[in-house]
């Protein structure tokens, strides 16, 4: 929450700065002089606003796709763990219970220390989770299927364990997408220009114009800051909590 309040403070500061510049321009140039150019300035502002809207839409679509992919990856990891847990019931006397205990340890480690590290942008395995998955692998190797049904269940568990590791390492190392610098430059520059154009209009009520500029600026900067967070789905303002793993933890 401290990061959230920091971002709110940044938005308020930048929006207040825009209002201060607007008041300075009104005193420097004069409201009547600014109103004479409304017709031309309004046309140019509509073009600038349209270009800025397209740029922001592109960024939102890009980070949203990354967010959905990250959610799907985390859910798939939980599904693989849950499937292994239930398949272990086929081996009550040959290591199935030990396998289930190792799975509980793994889920607890992912929900706890590993996710907390990812929220701090620490993209490396937590020692607890790494130890749990190694114990899980050893438990799988120790199981000796005896019947045809157990052989089928064991084969499925091996496939799910392979998928579990793939989704785990994708979550840890594969979800570090960053928007290219030219896109960031264009959207921030576009935001500055869009806000800047509003400063060269003049309304009869200075207070009404100050409020209008403040809220337009706040909307633009808050959107940019949100995009900067969502582009890293597993860190920032707790954008992607371990929902699937939490549900699995409660069921275990």
DSSP character string of 203-249: -S-HHHHHHHHHHHHHHHHHHHHHHHHHTSTTSTTT-S--HHHHHHH
Kindly give, in sequence order, each residue whose CB lies less than 8 Å from that of residue 127, ignoring residues fewer than 6 positions away: 113
Residue 179 contacts residue 59 (beta carbons within 8 Å): yes
pLDDT for 240 equals 64
What's the gap between Cα 13 and its chain centre? 24
- Both 81 and 172 in a single domain? yes
pLDDT value for 106: 92
pLDDT value of residue 123: 64
Q: Is residue 200 part of a domain?
A: yes
Distance CA 177, CA 230 (A): 10
Q: Are residues 109 and 183 in the same domain?
A: no
247 and 145 in a common domain: yes
Residues 93 and 21 in one domain: no
On whether residue 68 sits in a domain, the answer given is: no
Count structural domains, the chain: 2
Query: Is there a contact between 58 and 183 (Cβ–Cβ < 8 Å)?
Result: yes
> pLDDT over 70 for what percent of the chain?
91
- Whether 238 shows a pLDDT value over 60: the answer reads no
Q: Specify whether 155 is located in the same domain as 104.
A: yes
Cα-Cα end-to-end distance for the chain? 30
Query: Would residue 116 count as lying in a domain?
Result: yes
Regarding whether 164 and 83 lie in a shared domain, the answer is: yes
pLDDT on residue 237: 47
Token digits of residue 128: 């607890």
Mean pLDDT value of segment 105-127: 79
Does residue 58 sit within a domain? Answer: no
Residue 42: closest CA among 202, 216, 248, 232 = 202
pLDDT, residue 35, reads 77
**In a domain? residue 113:** yes
User: What whole-number distance in Å separates Cα of residue 100 and Cα of residue 110?
Assistant: 15
At residue 35, φ and ψ (nearest 5 deg) are -65, -25
pLDDT band at 184 (very low <50, low <70, confident <90, very high): confident
Same domain, 132 and 246: yes
Instruction: Grade residue 155 by pLDDT with cuts at 50, 70 and 90.
Output: very high
Asked if 148 and 247 sit in the same domain, the reply is yes
The answer to whether position 16 is within a domain reads yes
Question: Rounded to an integer, what distance in angstroms lies between the CA atom of residue 107 and that of residue 105?
Answer: 6
Residue 29 sits in the same domain as residue 137: no
Say what the pLDDT of residue 205 is. Answer: 83
Same domain, 101 and 210: no
Q: Looking at residue 147, what DSSP letter applies?
A: S
- Are 169 and 80 found together in one domain? yes
Q: Within this chain, do residues 246 and 150 fall inside the same structural domain, yes or no?
A: yes
Residue 46 counted as domain residue: no
Q: What is the mean pLDDT of residues 174-188?
A: 76
Integer Cα distance of 175 and 171 in angstroms: 6
Number of helices (H), then strands (E), belonging to the chain: the values are 10, 0
Phi then psi dihedrals of residue 141, to 5 deg: -65, -30
pLDDT of residue 122: 60
In a domain, 98, yes or no: yes
Write down the H helix ranges in 88-147.
96-109, 115-119, 127-142
DSSP-derived letter for residue 110 is: I
Q: Kindly report which listed range (17-31, 45-59, 224-238) carries the lowest average pLDDT score.
A: 224-238
Q: Which domain holds residue 206?
A: 2-36+179-230
């Amino acid at each position: 929450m401290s990061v959230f309040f920091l971002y709110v403070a940044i938005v308020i500061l930048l929006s207040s700065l825009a209002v201060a510049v607007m008041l300075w321009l009104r005193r420097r140039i004069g409201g009547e002089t600014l109103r004479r150019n409304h017709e031309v300035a309004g046309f140019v502002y509509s073009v600038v606003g349209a270009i800025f809207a397209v740029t922001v839409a592109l960024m939102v679509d890009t980070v949203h796709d990354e967010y959905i992919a990250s959610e799907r990856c985390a859910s798939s990891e939980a599904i693989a763990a849950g499937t292994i847990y239930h398949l272990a019931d086929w081996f009550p006397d040959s290591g199935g219970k030990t396998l289930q205990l190792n799975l509980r340890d793994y889920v607890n480690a992912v929900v706890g220390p590993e996710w907390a590290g990812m929220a701090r942008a620490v993209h490396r395995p937590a020692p607890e989770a790494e130890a749990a998955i190694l114990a899980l692998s050893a438990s799988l190797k120790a199981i000796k299927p005896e019947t045809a049904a157990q052989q089928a269940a064991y084969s499925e568990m091996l496939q799910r364990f392979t998928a579990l590791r793939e989704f785990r390492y994708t979550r840890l190392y594969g979800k570090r997408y960053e928007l290219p610098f030219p896109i960031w430059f264009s959207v921030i520059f576009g935001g500055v220009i869009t806000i800047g154009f509003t400063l060269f209009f003049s309304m009869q009520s200075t207070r009404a114009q100050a409020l209008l500029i403040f809220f337009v600026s706040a909307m633009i900067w808050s959107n940019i800051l949100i995009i900067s967070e969502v582009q890293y789905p597993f860190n920032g303002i707790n954008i992607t909590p371990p929902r699937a793993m939490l549900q699995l933890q409660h069921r275990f």
